[in-house]
Amino acid sequence: MLEITIGEVRISSQRALKHLGVMVDDRLSFNAHVDYACEKAAKAVNTVARIMPNVGGSRSSKSCLLANVATSILRYGMPAWATALKTKRNRAKLNRVFRLMAMRVVSAYRTIWPEAVCVIAWMMPVNIILEEDVECYRRRNTRNEKAAARTDSLAKWKQQWDKAVNGRWTHRLIPNVSAWVDRKHGEWAHVAFECPRIAEIRRDMRGVTVDNIVEEICCDEDTWNVVDRAVNRVGMIRNNTYWSAEQQAAATTLR
């Protein structure tokens, strides 16, 4: 570190400086910016945690709105520091913070798989979001560039979701992410299909099964409401001792 003294003022050299909100380091790796953005976004997530607790907190749509604020922090100036995504170190840091956001949206446990929590929360994985920002910048003089980039992003997300090793229970419920995120009604859904204690309630669910539930509730608002009422009757939010973390997250999001 170099230090220059001018009169009574000492000026010390720094490895990185902020320019227009982006941290530029001496090697142009933008590691410093990733650290800065992740720290700032994490503070926003912690703020959400204080005002919207997992138990008895606000509906997921409101949590999602505030999570978008934290996501915007991560996305700021993306085309300028896009090269930072090439390193495993930076991708891992971004994914960790983004996972915390998604967990807050769906009131999930920390043991939930990252792939599953993003799908349940309607939140496209951050690496795909950032790649979309870069693509929009590249196509900025092209007509309907945002719509085209979003279509490509959804295709990438579906491919990533289909190949994911983890979160297979959620994939069984939500195989088509496009239908899940594009629906215009409801917030979230999951119901138990095997527990004998709620067999009577399941008979009222219009033939909905574990393999067709998402398709049915996305196509018909009345079916969504029937499933909603059934899950509320079951009281699965409190009766979660025998569910896996992934199943608990899916169960507690419909309220």
Q: What is the mean pLDDT of the chain?
A: 78
Bridge partner residues of 18 (DSSP): 23
Contact between 95 and 127 (Cβ < 8 Å): yes
Q: How far apart are CA 181 and CA 172, in angstroms?
A: 16
Note the pLDDT of residue 70: 83
Note the pLDDT of residue 36: 92
- State the average pLDDT over residues 136-160: 89
Q: How far apart are CA 189 and CA 106, in angstroms?
A: 11
Could you read off the pLDDT of 78-106 as tens digits, one per residue?
A: 889 999 999 999 999 999 999 988 888 88
Q: Which two tokens stand for residue 12?
A: 């010390």
* 11: phi then psi, degrees, rounded to nearest 5: -115, 120
Q: What percentage of the chain carries pLDDT values higher than 70?
A: 75
> Taking 70 as the threshold, does the pLDDT of residue 49 lie above it?
no
Confidence band (pLDDT; 50, 70, 90) for 1? low
The structural domains of the chain, with segments of one domain joined by +, span 21-175, 196-252
* 206 compared with 109, residue with greater pLDDT: 109
> Taking 60 as the threshold, does the pLDDT of residue 113 lie above it?
yes
- Taking CA atoms, 228 is separated from 54, 97, 163, 181, in Å, by 19, 30, 30, 18
- Taking CA atoms, 71 is separated from 58, 110, 220, 233, in Å, by 19, 19, 31, 35
- Taking CA atoms, 241 is separated from 66, 77, 129, 244, in Å, by 29, 44, 35, 8
Q: Which two tokens stand for residue 225?
A: 């409401």
- State the average pLDDT over residues 106-131: 88
* 2 compared with 93, residue with greater pLDDT: 93
> Taking 80 as the threshold, does the pLDDT of residue 66 lie above it?
no
Note the pLDDT of residue 60: 57
Could you read off the pLDDT of 202-247 as tens digits, one per residue?
A: 777 767 776 677 777 777 788 888 877 777 776 553 444 444 555 5
The DSSP secondary structure of 4-71, one letter per residue, reads: EEETTEEEE--SEEEETTEEEETTS--HHHHHHHHHHHHHHHHHHHHHS-SSS---HHHHHHHHHHHH
Note the pLDDT of residue 189: 40
* 60 compared with 117, residue with greater pLDDT: 117
Confidence band (pLDDT; 50, 70, 90) for 181? confident
Could you read off the pLDDT of 149-165 as tens digits, one per residue?
A: 999 999 999 999 999 99
Note the pLDDT of residue 106: 80
